[in-house]
């Protein structure tokens, strides 16, 4: 599995990881087995959140006996992100995950509490050894500017955002901001949300033809294209062992410049929207 430095943390993290949003809505056995298969395949970056229902409990089951292999990430909800509430939320997540630490802890999206209060809590958790690093999710460039104003350079580990071939808004300002400031960018929902391009669409045909040239699937091509930059990490969800192995194999796919140009042409970046897209 290809790995890269995760922002300023100094940790080498798998370029393709594992998301867990909505896994608690599926058969419990399948997603847990998929997470374990993903670990076996080198997808050691596992992302979850307190908002994700029983996902943290299922992650705990999947990583039992293997905690040291995992780069484990969870998130605090904005309504819990006061100085005191962030610490309490982290403690609850640690209990559900059956671990004594997180490798990274994120503010799920911006809420009403001052960013300085949340950052204060994050730093207290770092000092206590409860988290190794912290970051944010769904932050636009302006939000990142405000965050940087209440912390020091090199403290923001990552920004997790919606990013797939059909939604490339973050390439306008967010991705350049992250790269300029040494912040990892984590792409959630890299296949979209139930809207992956069908095989008979122009985008689907391009992905399928490029995949066929490499003996790969269209989804593997999509993951390889999204993670072409060393600063970008993708966290697709898998509900089966076969799906997890398919995701992991995308890390070995080397797309040519001509293929990437074709993908960019059929999935144009488009204009910058007024608001950062999120789901």
CA distance 206 to 76: 39
Helices (H), 47-167: 55-63, 83-97, 115-127, 141-148
How open is the CA angle 210-258-190, to the nearest 5 degrees?
55
DSSP SS3 for 249: helix
Give the phi and the psi of residue 66 in degrees, each rounded to 5. -130, 20
Calculate the alpha carbon distances from 75 to 103, 226, 262 in Å.
11, 23, 36
Here the tokens at position 222 are 């999509």
**Alpha-carbon torsion (24, 29, 32, 35), positive or negative:** negative
CA distance 86 to 205: 46
Tokens 């059956």 sit on residue: 98
Element (H, E) at 29: helix 29-40
Q: Any bridge partners for residue 191, and if so which?
A: none
CA distance 236 to 188: 7
Q: Which sequence positions are flagged as catalytic?
A: 52
């Amino acid at each position: 599995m290809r790995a890269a430095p995760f922002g300023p943390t100094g940790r080498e993290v798998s370029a393709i990881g594992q998301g867990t949003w909505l896994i608690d809505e599926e058969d419990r056995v399948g997603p847990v087995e998929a997470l374990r298969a993903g670990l076996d395949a080198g997808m050691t970056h596992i992302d979850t959140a307190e908002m994700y229902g029983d996902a943290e409990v299922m992650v705990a089951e999947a990583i039992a006996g293997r905690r040291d292999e995992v780069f484990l990430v969870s998130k605090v909800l904005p309504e819990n992100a006061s100085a005191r509430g962030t610490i309490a939320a982290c403690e609850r997540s640690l209990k559900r995950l059956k671990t004594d630490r997180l490798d990274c802890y994120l503010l799920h999206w911006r809420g009403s509490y001052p960013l300085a209060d949340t950052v204060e809590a994050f730093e207290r958790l770092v000092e206590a050894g409860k988290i190794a690093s912290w970051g944010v999710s769904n932050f636009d460039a302006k939000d990142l500017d405000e965050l940087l104003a209440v912390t020091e350079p090199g403290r923001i580990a990552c920004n997790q955002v919606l990013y797939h071939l059909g939604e490339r808004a973050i390439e306008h300002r967010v991705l350049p901001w992250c790269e300029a400031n040494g912040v990892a960018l984590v792409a959630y929902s890299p296949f979209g949300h139930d809207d992956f391009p069908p095989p008979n669409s122009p985008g689907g045909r391009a992905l399928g033809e490029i995949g066929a040239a490499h003996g790969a699937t269209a989804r593997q091509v999509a993951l390889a294209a999204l993670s072409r930059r060393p600063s970008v990490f993708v966290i697709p969800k898998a509900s089966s062992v076969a799906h997890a192995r398919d995701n992991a194999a995308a890390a070995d796919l080397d797309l040519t410049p001509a293929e990437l140009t074709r993908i960019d042409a059929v999935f144009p970046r488009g204009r910058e929207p007024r608001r950062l897209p999120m789901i």
